[in-house]
């Protein structure tokens, strides 16, 4: 019988190395496995719960350690759990778990799948860039020059130490004849700037500003903001109350803006998914979501996990959005090009 089989198949009984044959062999084994539907019930339950978590993330309360905002900050990374459950389901040979995994997989793709479509385009009237330069930056001049090499017409810098400001000003002076520094944030422009002033975000010191930039396509109100940092503590959860108050104050300032065209540049210490930034995100749209390619994570620079640095706009059309090469900072600079 074995000789007849060998003559018929043309081999010595070894497994067919072709990928399609291997897949068919696995499926044949699964079809003959009576426990394929009984195994992996716990995995299936976890998969459904993960899908519900992503669907209902907006209903997770913030009363306990700002758990809702913490979940929304790292919401894209729940896709890693989907992959982990997939591996476990395959190892367990559980058809039940694999079918249940369709729930979180479809939800995740619905939330973030659009970010993987390249929406970048050419043209535009104004290129802007923003960078949290890090207060402990050992080489501020080099950092400023690296950002300027992006070709941006307008550059915003955040978290500048007062004694490092002259180094930033010197590095950017030749390319940007107009600039204003308000506390720890600054704005540099190739085009004339007027009405530069600080914006009160309820901190007691200056970490936000606005100015009118006379761009070739018309005046643009440019805001620069560095919202307070957040912390994740075991005994307190996601501590973000000061950041949230500042976001509300920034949103109120933008709502009072008289210019029709508005660009916000800065480190908001939060993502577009974070409900606590709703006072800002409800008025403006992200250039990354509208004209980027991918998530555009900007922090931490060594292994970016979240996009907490933002370029947001109103009254202008985003055409492209991207991250810039790493500098001496712990954040990545980001840039965008818009049409006025």
What are 1-40's pLDDT values in tens digits? 445 444 444 455 455 555 567 666 656 666 667 778 889 9
Q: Is the pLDDT of residue 326 over 60?
A: yes
Q: Which of 305, 307, 301, 306 is nearest to 325 (CA)?
A: 301
pLDDT in tens, 237-294: 556 789 999 999 999 999 999 999 999 999 999 999 999 999 999 999 999 999 999 9
How many Cβ atoms are within 10 Å of 19's Cβ, its own excluded?
Answer: 8
Please give the mean pLDDT across all residues of the chain: 91
The pLDDT value given to residue 38: 87
237-239 and 231-233 strand pairing: antiparallel
How many Cβ atoms are within 10 Å of 69's Cβ, its own excluded?
Answer: 23
Q: Between 13 and 315, where is the model more confident? A: 315
pLDDT in tens, 186-212: 999 999 999 999 999 999 899 999 999
Lowest mean pLDDT among 48-52, 75-79, 140-144, 231-235: 231-235
Banded pLDDT at 102 (limits 50, 70, 90): very high
Domain spans of the chain, in order of start: 33-116, 126-339
The pLDDT value given to residue 10: 46
pLDDT in tens, 293-312: 999 999 999 999 999 999 99
8 Å CB contact between 315 and 330: no
Which CATH number does the domain 126-339 belong to among 3.30.465.10, 3.30.1490.20, 3.90.1150.10, 3.60.10.10?
Answer: 3.60.10.10
The pLDDT value given to residue 223: 98
The pLDDT value given to residue 195: 97
Sorted by sequence, the CB contacts under 8 Å of residue 227 that are 6+ apart come out as 201, 207, 243, 246, 247, 250, 266, 267, 268, 269, 270
The pLDDT value given to residue 17: 58
Q: How large is the average pLDDT for residues 158-162?
A: 97
Spatial separation of the C-alpha atoms in residues 333 and 340, rounded to whole Å: 22
Q: Which of 165, 198, 183, 159 is nearest to 308 (CA)?
A: 159
The pLDDT value given to residue 2: 47
Q: How large is the average pLDDT for residues 313-322?
A: 97
Q: Is the pLDDT of residue 178 over 60?
A: yes
Banded pLDDT at 91 (limits 50, 70, 90): very high
Q: Is the pLDDT of residue 54 over 90?
A: yes
Spatial separation of the C-alpha atoms in residues 183 and 160, rounded to whole Å: 8
Phi, psi of 108 (to 5 degrees): -60, -45
The pLDDT value given to residue 4: 45
Tokens of 277: 């930034």
The pLDDT value given to residue 232: 64
């Amino acid at each position: 019988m074995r000789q007849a089989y060998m003559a018929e198949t043309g081999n010595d009984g070894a497994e067919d190395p072709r990928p399609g044959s291997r897949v068919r062999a696995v499926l044949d084994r699964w079809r003959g496995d009576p426990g394929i539907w009984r195994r992996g019930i716990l995995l299936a339950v976890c998969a459904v719960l993960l899908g519900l978590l992503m669907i209902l993330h907006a209903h997770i309360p913030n009363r306990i350690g700002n758990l809702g905002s913490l979940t929304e900050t790292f919401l894209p990374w729940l896709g890693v759990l989907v992959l982990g459950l997939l591996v476990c389901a395959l190892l367990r040979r559980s058809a039940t778990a694999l079918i249940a995994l369709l729930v979180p997989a479809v939800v995740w793709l619905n939330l973030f799948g659009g970010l993987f479509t390249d929406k970048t385009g050419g043209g535009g009237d104004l290129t802007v860039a923003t960078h949290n330069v890090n207060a402990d930056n050992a080489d501020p001049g080099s950092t400023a020059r690296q950002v300027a090499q992006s070709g941006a017409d307008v550059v915003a810098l955040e978290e500048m130490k007062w004694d490092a400001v002259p180094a930033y000003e010197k590095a950017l002076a030749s390319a940007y004849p107009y600039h204003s520094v308000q506390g720890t944030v600054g704005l540099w422009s190739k085009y004339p700037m007027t009405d530069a002033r600080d914006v009160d975000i309820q901190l007691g010191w200056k970490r936000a500003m606005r100015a009118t930039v006379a761009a070739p396509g018309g005046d643009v109100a440019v805001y620069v903001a560095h919202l307070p940092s957040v912390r994740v503590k075991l005994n307190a959860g996601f501590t973000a109350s000061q950041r949230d108050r500042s976001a509300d104050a920034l949103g109120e300032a933008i709502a009072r803006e008289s210019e029709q065209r508005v660009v916000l540049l800065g480190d908001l210490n939060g993502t577009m998914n974070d409900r606590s930034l709703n006072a800002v995100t409800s008025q403006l749209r992200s250039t990354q979501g509208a004209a980027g390619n991918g998530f555009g994570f900007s922090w931490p620079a060594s292994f970016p996990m979240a996009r907490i640095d933002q370029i947001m706009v109103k009254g202008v059309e985003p055409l492209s959005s991207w991250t810039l090469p790493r500098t001496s900072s712990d954040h990545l600079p980001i840039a965008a090009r818009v049409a006025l």
